[in-house]
Structure 1
Amino acid sequence: MLVALISLAALAATVYALVRAVRAMDLDKKEARSRYLSAGLFLALQAFVGVYAAVGMVENDILSALVLNAVLSALSLASACAPQMKERLAAYLGPQGRFPHPLVGAIIFVLLGGAFATLALEVPSNHNLLWMYPLCLLLEWGIVTALLGGLFLIFQRRAGVPSVLALLFFVLGLAEHFVITFKSMPIAPGDLSALSTAMAVAGTGYSYILNPFCLYGMAFAALAVYALRLAALIAPRNQGDKRALVVNLLAGVLCIAGVGAHVTMVDYYNQLNIQVYTWRPLESYYRQGFLPSFISGAQTIKPPVPEGYNIGTAKDLMAEYAEEYDAAEGASIERQQASAQFGEKKPAIVTIMNETFADLSIYQNLHAGYEGPQFYKNIPDALQRGILYVSAYGGGTCNTEFEYLTGNSMAFLGSGTYPYTIYDLARTESLPKQFRDLGYKTTAIHPNHGTNWNRENVYKTLGFDQFLTIKDFQDAEKLRGMVTDAATYDAILEMLESDESPQFIFDVTMQNHSGYETGLVPFDKQVDYPIDGMSDPEVNEYLALIEESDRALKDFLAALRKLDREVIVVFFGDHQPFFPDRFNEQWFPGEDEAAHAERLWQTDYIIWANYDVAGRDQESSVDDLSTNYLGSAMMNLVGAPMTAWEKAHVMLRRDLPALNATGFEDKSLRWYLSSAATAPEDYPKGSPVAEAIAARENLAKMQYFMMFRDGKDIYTKVFQSAANETDPNLAPGTTKIK
């Protein structure tokens, strides 16, 4: 209420002072009305804040209210004194002052207006600009200023249209603030395809409260508008001067065109190193600025259309591969036995994507005698196990789960792309949809915020009935402040024991998340592996966590062995931690480039059952594959009904055993970087690599069809995340995804 009082009192005082000032000028009615109108925008902003605060929609911060109203009052009075201001500026900045041409002074104020407009965009959501990279801030200022300057010149040195753009930058910053408040996600390029949906749900369940930074942003927007007005006062249009009209128009068009050429021709991701790739995109936006991050994302989200692609060709390819599967693997006695058993028993399917679980003994035992997670490595009765080639390193968890749940590969989606936050996945197949159609209850678990990677929306789209988040693990056991693997396994066991219905459960653990210099691992759980005789606290903390994961997995599988129902477990790590690259560079010099890279982009997986799967040997047979194939491999092994997409995966692996965002493997088990696929003519026809490239091209066409169909309406929609409701049939505290 104090903000309302300050704003309304300031408005009244400003109006009073404005009326007195205009009357003192002894102007005719027309000129007096013009002076009042020139202050109208700033008075309107004051009135808006006062009324908005009076209804409780502005945080009660006195300092921001005082600053905003001081700025608005001052600008209102200054606007009413425009002729006097023009004379003073002309005397100081015009031809008789410091500059030979008034346009030079105008450019100074346009540059200043661009700076204020940039701050109006950033400040409402980005509260610590000192954390922002200076060059990114400079780049954003340059883009904003060029746009404002271009409009200023195109409209013949008038301030009206560029002022509207400056206000729109503030509105965009305000929208960013509200989107972050509601979704814990920044505005992504894909959201532009869902504006109609956003407008439809904008008034439902949301409170649009302005915080102090929103008020500061409004103050900067007002200063931007006034700076542009001063630019127009210094260098007004020369009436009737056609040459000046043409010059202004051409210069303005060049400014706008320059921005367009810059954002389309400069590769932000690779050339400027502006990348939205952290596990929480907000940090990228805070460090790099809204416009640079948004442009970088926009440049990378458009999936390339495979050469020769059309819907008919993709469907035919999938049908051909499916027919081959039905005639070969699908017709085998082993597969038929497993299928009959699956249809009868409908075993529970439990997938554990274990945070940063990897066997770092592949790095020459870390020069410390490290042998890796011992229980995991010595499970004797898995259906299948091996290396899992992933498309994430050091972070990017969501891309690994995307590949597993949908069977799509990041190999065709570009670097720095995160489908969960960009693409509309409603049309693509997914394991939870598939099992839900088979009569299974589908549950996702992630003991952290459901907004991370937009999961609360994506999981609904992918077919999960319910999603357990950190809210459901408030009293759970924690390690370093993170919910333990064991706590999530206990939740799974409770679901399996309390509900006999067939279930598909997907558990994304949190225990092993970086960083690894917290020092919070209890003494009795600590390990010490001196690397080349030197102890590394970061590595030791990570390895201690992996030992805890190994111990928890041992206890979980032991409990499942005693459980009186059939359960399939798929267990894998999402990516390696961020530090093994230094070991890779130091200890493996001079080796094949692709093999060298792939060592970083691999974890491990097992497919295990607590019962004898008919037709299958449970002797932990080894088969290295990539994450996009893992779901299909599991479905094939356990006898579950398979789609044509999954059957195609099984058959593709004859020529393309594995692929990820970094490279691909041929049937001779040799790895190639992804760039090799762009030059198939470099390899002999019929060679393993040529056949792998051909299979990769076929997979690209089928995947484009599975995800994008005709390439239209491919981006993320705005979901009604606030529409969740409690269902009495679910576990206590669990939210139902509507």
Structure 2
Amino acid sequence: MLVAIISFAATIASIVLAVREVRGWRVNATATSSSEKDATPAKTERVPYRASSVAWALAFLAIQVFIGVWGALGLVQDEPIAPVIMNTVLTGCVYLSLARPRLRPRLLALFEPGSRWPHPQAACALAMVATGIFATLALELPSNHNLLWMYPLCLLLEIFLVTAVVAGFFYLFQRRGAASAIASFVFFAIGIAEYFVITFKSQPIQPGDLTAIATAAAVGGGYVFSITSFCLYGIVALALAMITSAYAALLKPDRTSRTRKQLLVNLLVGVLCLGGVIGHVVLIDYYNFLYIQVYTWRPLESYYRQGFIPSFISSAQTIQPRKPEGYTKSDAQDLIDEYAASYDAGTGATSERSEAVEQFEEVQPSVIVVMNETFSDLSDYDNLHAGYEGPEFFNSIDDAVQRGDLYVSAYGGGTCNTEFEFLTGNSMAYLGNGVYPYTIYNLTHAENLAQQFSDLGYTTTAMHPNHATNWNRENVYRDFGFDEFLAIEDFEGADTLRGMVTDAETYDKIVEMLETNDDPQFIFDVTMQNHSGYDTGLIPNDMQTNYLIDGTYDPEVNEYLALIEESDRALEEFLGELEELDRPVVVVFFGDHQPFFPSDFNDAWFQGEDDATHSERLYRTDYVIWANYDLAGNEQQSQQEDISTNFLAAEVMNLIGAPLSDYQKAQLALRESMPAINMIGYQDQAGAWHLSSAVADEHATEAFSAAQKAREDLAKMQYLKLFDHGDSVYTKTLQGAANETNPNLAPGTTKIK
């Protein structure tokens, strides 16, 4: 409320100053009119820049009013210093905006012939440099609180790019201040968006996020958009950029004295500035030439130290998939054949596998995959210093086929990437930082579980109780060959928790499908209940938890833990129902990623670790493979096996005796040297983790060297399977036209919803 009081008081002060300045216009106009012979009446006198000055003043007033309202709603950090500074600057900008007509003659007098000041054009250029600096600050300050930590050359590069853009628009629109002010506002808006994304996901904005704006909007209702003092300092920088633009515009010649040459020069300068930025971004390799690299294991640090724009450009340039070093199509296929042959001679030749294959052919079990939103066991973080033991039922399952830690490539968000890894068996490790294959790449040729089960005669169903457009699922599922996709409209009237359809409702739908259709089924359930944010306060009293972290109650953490307890309860009930079902069913249950907040615990409580071990803790969830029948060749005593998401589907198919593709066989054989891999790093046979950038040398262990070779081999095999198919790399949806046909759908199958 303090921020609201300060802002509204400053708004009143701004209005008082504005009224006094406008009255001064009238007095000056009257005095001028009465002193001139045959003068035009004052009320009809047209003084340049009055209308535009009012517009500038209203823009600054609108910012003050908005912050006042936002503060009254309790959505601004309640401390006095930042709002006082911000409102002082905004009030000053209101006054200076309306003073433009009065001050313009004095400003122009500084550049009269014989003065020591530079030419007006040079002054405009200097003003644009100042505007660029302020706009850069407006971009960075909301989320990057210590600019002194930035690499100086990266900061200079960012200032150069921002200045070129604001100056380009300034000159392109014939030195109009509004053009550069709007450009500055866009940079500020990006900075605010970056602040919110970091707040909600603990991750920066990355290029792939631009293809998922609709998804972000669809799930954004659970977040609280409160701002900090640093956001207010960003507004200060924006206001300074705008007022500098406003005064730079005063230096242009009057409309009556402009020449065609001046118009052409302005246009040329604007085109050169904007064209130079485009050419720079297209032609300069940020990753290899400028060494601006976004480290997958700590992307936030990369953005903080290198700046938003350089880091974003570097990430964008890596979206184009690059061929692995030494890649040829024939060599990649040879690798698949060699690894597949190794599987056939090893695991594939065991009696356990033979028994499972024989049983699968006989019973044709239905396979239910539950990718549970944000499900993870945070007791890994020293029991949260609160005695937290994790999801009770999940951890007590002792009759599973297999269970363990699951290494994923998403943290705090990016559900679709875990989904992509599981369904296709491909790893995000080779696709760059901030990439979302569902929204970017052409996946019509990608091998996937839906297609695989469909070829076995299964009915295939995807299920997600939210909008079908989220993460482009409606198109991806069609390409994958799912017979049906149940989205939010198929859950009308379902129970919700915090406005999200509950896990239990999706499980009820699955049981209903199993009871009403005797065909073997593959059902892929992407739940929604546990989606962030976790400060809604909508958990019913009987579900709330009261864990004190180091003696302090954290409402966000407790809301999340309450949701996990509810997921755990629903899972117990679901498996209990399946035990009573008179048909064979296999359940694969796993979490897609951790919530956004454990990074704080990780940094505070696990200091001194190597980067790989420290980072991988954040990219670890849990999985369990469970069956309601005695699975041949397996003791079903919850054997522990840690794995990564891209290998999990092949592991499931191997355990239940289902037919395997050569690519899946190759993956299983390759796991002997590299048991797990994700976008952070990879694990060797000895259990040690190595960052993706790690390189084996003559001192490397045998296990590390073998894992690195396996990683290189998998890169070539994956590139062959994902990209070397002759069609466009990018999805038709990204190119502006939704896929209309599905080459994977067999004749007569049901059209996907």
1:632 corresponds to: 650
The answer as to whether partners of 2:168 and 2:270 remain within 8 angstroms in 1 is: yes
1:432 corresponds to: 450
Cα–Cα, structure 1 residues 454 and 139, in superposed 2: closer, same or farther, change >3 Å?
farther
The aligned amino acid for 1:320 is E
C-alpha distance in structure 2 between counterparts of 1:533 and 1:691, whole Å: 46
Q: Secondary structure at the match of 2:405?
A: strand
After superposition, where does 1:36-47 map in structure 2 within 5 Å? none
- CA drift of 1:367 comes to 2.3
- CA drift of 1:303 comes to 2.2
Say yes or no: does 1:320 pair with 2:338: yes
Deviates more, 1:338-347 or 1:666-675: 338-347
1:602 corresponds to: 620
Deviates more, 1:93-102 or 1:420-429: 93-102
C-alpha distance in structure 1 between counterparts of 2:122 and 2:603, whole Å: 54
- CA drift of 1:570 comes to 0.4
Pairing partner for 1:647 from 665, 671, 674 = 665
- CA drift of 1:295 comes to 4.7
- CA drift of 1:534 comes to 2.7
1:409 corresponds to: 427
- Deviation digits for residues 13-36 of structure 1, max 9, x if unmatched? xxxxxxxxxxxxxxxxxxxxxxxx
C-alpha distance in structure 1 between counterparts of 2:419 and 2:391, whole Å: 22
1:260 corresponds to: 279
- Deviation digits for residues 320-341 of structure 1, max 9, x if unmatched? 1111111221122221221122
Q: Secondary structure at the match of 1:301?
A: coil
Say yes or no: does 1:699 pair with 2:714: yes
Runs (5+) with no aligned partner, structure 2:
1-106, 136-140, 148-155, 187-204, 212-244, 743-749
Pairing partner for 1:552 from 547, 560, 570 = 570
After superposition, where does 1:487-498 map in structure 2 within 5 Å? 487-498=505-516
Cα–Cα, structure 1 residues 90 and 365, in superposed 2: closer, same or farther, change >3 Å?
closer
- Deviation digits for residues 239-292 of structure 1, max 9, x if unmatched? 9xxxx99x99899757633553256455799969999x99xxxxx9xxx99x99
Q: Secondary structure at the match of 1:599?
A: helix
Cα–Cα, structure 1 residues 274 and 142, in superposed 2: closer, same or farther, change >3 Å?
farther
The aligned amino acid for 2:713 is N
The aligned amino acid for 2:605 is W
C-alpha distance in structure 2 between counterparts of 1:586 and 1:132, whole Å: 20
C-alpha distance in structure 1 between counterparts of 2:414 and 2:605, whole Å: 26
The answer as to whether partners of 1:656 and 1:695 remain within 8 angstroms in 2 is: yes
Deviates more, 1:586-595 or 1:343-352: 586-595
Identical aligned pairs, as a percentage? Answer: 55
- Deviation digits for residues 427-479 of structure 1, max 9, x if unmatched? 21111111112222221111112222222222222222222122222211111
The answer as to whether partners of 2:682 and 2:690 remain within 8 angstroms in 1 is: yes
- CA drift of 1:533 comes to 2.8
- Deviation digits for residues 278-321 of structure 1, max 9, x if unmatched? 9xxxxx9xxx99x9998566323122321111111111100111
Pairing partner for 2:329 from 311, 315, 324 = 311
Deviates more, 1:98-107 or 1:614-623: 98-107
Say yes or no: does 1:680 pair with 2:696: yes
The aligned amino acid for 1:407 is G
After superposition, where does 1:213-292 map in structure 2 within 5 Å? 236=259, 256-261=275-280, 264=284
The aligned amino acid for 2:371 is M
- Deviation digits for residues 99-131 of structure 1, max 9, x if unmatched? 86575588699999999xx9xxxxxxxxxxx99
1:730 corresponds to: none
Say yes or no: does 1:689 pair with 2:722: no
The aligned amino acid for 2:419 is E
The answer as to whether partners of 2:206 and 2:434 remain within 8 angstroms in 1 is: no
- CA drift of 1:231 comes to 8.2
C-alpha distance in structure 2 between counterparts of 1:253 and 1:328, whole Å: 64
1:582 corresponds to: 600
Q: Secondary structure at the match of 1:608?
A: strand
C-alpha distance in structure 2 between counterparts of 1:571 and 1:542, whole Å: 19
The aligned amino acid for 1:438 is L
C-alpha distance in structure 1 between counterparts of 2:516 and 2:626, whole Å: 22
1:530 corresponds to: 548
Cα–Cα, structure 1 residues 475 and 139, in superposed 2: closer, same or farther, change >3 Å?
farther
Deviates more, 1:524-533 or 1:698-707: 524-533
Cα–Cα, structure 1 residues 671 and 131, in superposed 2: closer, same or farther, change >3 Å?
closer
The answer as to whether partners of 2:374 and 2:530 remain within 8 angstroms in 1 is: yes
C-alpha distance in structure 1 between counterparts of 2:161 and 2:593, whole Å: 37
2:102 corresponds to: none
Normalised by the size of structure 1, how large is the TM-score? 0.65
Pairing partner for 1:717 from 694, 718, 732 = 732
Cα–Cα, structure 1 residues 502 and 710, in superposed 2: closer, same or farther, change >3 Å?
closer
The answer as to whether partners of 2:294 and 2:315 remain within 8 angstroms in 1 is: no
Q: Secondary structure at the match of 1:545?
A: helix
The answer as to whether partners of 1:274 and 1:296 remain within 8 angstroms in 2 is: no
Cα–Cα, structure 1 residues 631 and 270, in superposed 2: closer, same or farther, change >3 Å?
farther
Normalised by the size of structure 2, how large is the TM-score? 0.64
The aligned amino acid for 1:574 is D
2:365 corresponds to: 347
C-alpha distance in structure 2 between counterparts of 1:272 and 1:706, whole Å: 27
The aligned amino acid for 2:473 is R
Cα–Cα, structure 1 residues 108 and 272, in superposed 2: closer, same or farther, change >3 Å?
farther
- Deviation digits for residues 567-593 of structure 1, max 9, x if unmatched? 111000111111222222222222333
- CA drift of 1:408 comes to 0.7
The answer as to whether partners of 1:440 and 1:504 remain within 8 angstroms in 2 is: yes
The answer as to whether partners of 2:206 and 2:433 remain within 8 angstroms in 1 is: no
The aligned amino acid for 2:472 is N
The answer as to whether partners of 1:333 and 1:615 remain within 8 angstroms in 2 is: yes
1:125 corresponds to: none
- CA drift of 1:97 comes to 11
C-alpha distance in structure 2 between counterparts of 1:336 and 1:231, whole Å: 87
The aligned amino acid for 2:275 is I
After superposition, where does 1:18-37 map in structure 2 within 5 Å? none
1:202 corresponds to: none
The answer as to whether partners of 1:467 and 1:736 remain within 8 angstroms in 2 is: no
C-alpha distance in structure 2 between counterparts of 1:378 and 1:231, whole Å: 79
C-alpha distance in structure 1 between counterparts of 2:606 and 2:311, whole Å: 35
Cα–Cα, structure 1 residues 144 and 531, in superposed 2: closer, same or farther, change >3 Å?
closer
Q: Name the Cα RMSD after superposition.
A: 5.0
The answer as to whether partners of 1:190 and 1:715 remain within 8 angstroms in 2 is: no
C-alpha distance in structure 2 between counterparts of 1:298 and 1:594, whole Å: 24
Cα–Cα, structure 1 residues 231 and 190, in superposed 2: closer, same or farther, change >3 Å?
farther
The answer as to whether partners of 2:172 and 2:269 remain within 8 angstroms in 1 is: no
The answer as to whether partners of 2:546 and 2:558 remain within 8 angstroms in 1 is: yes
Deviates more, 1:615-624 or 1:265-274: 265-274
C-alpha distance in structure 1 between counterparts of 2:728 and 2:575, whole Å: 43
The answer as to whether partners of 1:146 and 1:256 remain within 8 angstroms in 2 is: no
1:469 corresponds to: 487
- Deviation digits for residues 653-701 of structure 1, max 9, x if unmatched? 100011111111110111112221xx2225447x100000000000011
Pairing partner for 2:416 from 398, 402, 409 = 398
Q: Secondary structure at the match of 1:607?
A: strand
The answer as to whether partners of 1:382 and 1:620 remain within 8 angstroms in 2 is: yes
- Deviation digits for residues 341-399 of structure 1, max 9, x if unmatched? 21222211110001111111112222222221121111121111111011111111111
Pairing partner for 1:593 from 605, 611, 616 = 611
The aligned amino acid for 1:261 is H
C-alpha distance in structure 2 between counterparts of 1:569 and 1:270, whole Å: 45
C-alpha distance in structure 1 between counterparts of 2:670 and 2:351, whole Å: 21
